[in-house]
Amino acid sequence: MKRISFRRAAPFALPAALAVLAVSGAFPARSQELRVEEHVLSNGMKLLLVPRRDEPVVSAGWVARVGSANERPGITGISHLFEHMMFKGTEAIGSKDAAQDARLIAEQERLRGLMRDEESKMRAALRRGEIDDVTKPESKTPRYKELEKEFDVLVKEQRDLLVKNEFDRTYTKQGASGMNASTNSDLTQYFVTVPKNKLELWMWMESDRLKAPVFREFYSERDVVFEERRLRTESTPTGRLDEAFEEMFWHGHPYSWPVVGYPSDIPAITKADADQYYALFYAPNNITAILVGDFDPKDALAMGERYFGRIPRGKNPPPEMTILPPKWEAEMRMNGEADTNPQVGINWHTVAFQNKDAYALQVLAQLLNGRTGRLYKAMVVGDGAVATNVTAAAFSRKYAGEFGVEAEVKEGKTPEDAEKAIYVELEKIKKDHVPAEELQKVKNNFAAQVFRSAQSNMGILYQLMGNEGRGDWREFNGGPKKVQSVTAEDVRRVAQTYLTKENRGVATYTRKAGAAGAAAAPEEPALLAVPEQMRPMVKQTLARLATSTDTDKLKQTIAQMESQSGQVPPQMKPATDLILQKARERLTELEKAPKTTEKK
């Protein structure tokens, strides 16, 4: 199950993803309070400056306060699609002939309008039962096939003009590293590390792609996103079940649909939809740029105004998301079968970002989590063991939160056995105060984790972007005091308040009847050196690497991880070393494979 991985980042945003894992629910200690200069440019764009003279580089990024929660049925996945499209270049970058490129895009759009008319006829035929799948070649109308051929000719003409990956190559040639982006339900962020003398290059390139982006290869990139969904969801043993559980758990709320989008929505998104969405949510008054590293704040502010300040303010403010999660009055359950080991996942509705109860819930999760946590001791080791692995997590999103526990069942036991064992441990916390020594140990671990993660520019940048995207960058400094002030009574109270039967959703998975019940594959030996609480995310990352077919993204991943290897906290090094090794192996495998199709 992957439901504990609440932050759904783009594939291969690995160092960033690991940074999130290291600081999930944690904040810098009081003594580590970060000094941040906040400025607002003339067009409403916010600029945060964090000068650090440790090394002659700047980790720079910007976060748009838009994610899948801002979408609607019909265009789900469009936020994630933008994450791809924003690397396609501008009028100045990405094409040998910008004027001809623009004419080809306009002609492509004209044909796509005619093709959509035919698609409407195909959907009507599907409803009448005349065809069984609109995506099958034999379901296409004769006129659609004609238009498709014309469109393909235009695509080929445009590809002859394109300068592939020029955005990335421009950065790389100037010594930059780690360029990447990620999208989740609440935000979309873009980041890179540049040499200190290339800060103005970053200012120009990033402001240019915000001011004059060109969405080249829009429809082929839409197909890439659809393929990404197939690999991450459709082709995994529990992908569709996990998605169904999220829909059930968040019913009636935008968190119910997947960040990658629904399979019927992705192919239906039009460039007109994209242009409208971009104008609304990528306006400078909905964006915060952040610099962390070696720079002069006065010079950086002047450059920020000169470059980013030239972008026109949005004509309309982004609409407020007003939908609230429904109040549950009964437990909801889902039982599924898959080619996987038996497992159980339990989610409870909790509170939004910066709610006063969020901190006690995060402390509670860490009391339960890890090799020294209560759940592991009670369920994984000893004669009464019912699980091979168990994980707890608490996460407060921008509009609502969740507390989750999932367990993989030991051979000879059932998901029901593991579920009962989880409730036994939770009842103990509801009944008795956590001993002071145990509570303090968790608080110390929080402080230590954040201290380590805050030693790198990228670690600081990523936390600031996450907090700002969810509502307030000041949580970076304000959170630690709230975590350290959590009491044993607070922990007991939130357990009693939120971890109730009527507030939870439960999913149990059993192996499909007739499927081979072979023993679980042996653990990757190198995983034994990875901290227990990090293994689920590392395993998920390794699984994505194993199915990756995008050599460009693999190269970006490897470059990013290599550039930050010296900044990795000691407890995370086994994980990053393993991921880097597997990324290199996968890249070598792909480069040696015969090329049979053109990469889009």
Query: What DSSP state is assigned to residue 135?
Result: T
Residue 454 has what pLDDT? 82
Amino acid sitting at position 549: T
Alpha carbons 446 and 32: distance in angstroms, whole number: 13
Neighbours of 127 (CB within 10 A): 8
Residue 515 has what pLDDT? 57
On whether the CB atoms of residues 68 and 166 are closer than 8 A, the answer is: no
Place of tokens 């904040």: 27
Beta pairing class for 46-51 and 37-40: antiparallel
Alpha carbons 193 and 458: distance in angstroms, whole number: 8
- pTM of the shown model: 0.81
Q: Hey, what are 306's tokens?
A: 């000169």
Residue 46 has what pLDDT? 98
> Using alpha carbons only, what angle is made at residue 48 by residues 44 and 52, rounded to the nearest 5 degrees?
160
Alpha carbons 233 and 32: distance in angstroms, whole number: 40
CA atoms within 13 A on the CB side of 353: 18
Dihedral (Cα; 81, 562, 591, 236), 10-degree rounding: -50
Residue 370 has what pLDDT? 86
- Those residues with Cβ within 8 angstroms of residue 311's Cβ, 6 or more apart along the chain or in another chain: 43, 45, 207, 210, 211, 284
On whether the CB atoms of residues 71 and 77 are closer than 8 A, the answer is: yes
User: In the chain, what are the domain boundaries?
Assistant: 36-94+163-310, 332-518, 532-592
Q: Does domain 332-518 have CATH number 3.30.830.10?
A: yes
Q: Does domain 36-94+163-310 have CATH number 3.30.830.10?
A: yes
On whether the CB atoms of residues 376 and 370 are closer than 8 A, the answer is: yes
Alpha carbons 86 and 159: distance in angstroms, whole number: 17
Residue 532 has what pLDDT? 56
Query: What DSSP state is assigned to residue 524?
Result: P
Q: Note whether 36-94+163-310 and 332-518 share their fold.
A: yes
- Positions in the chain whose pLDDT score sits under 70: 1-32, 514-537, 540, 550-553, 556, 559-573, 591-600
pLDDT tens digits, residue range 428-460?
Answer: 999 999 999 999 999 998 888 778 778 889 989
Nearest to 292 by CA among 485, 523, 55: 55
Residue 285 has what pLDDT? 96
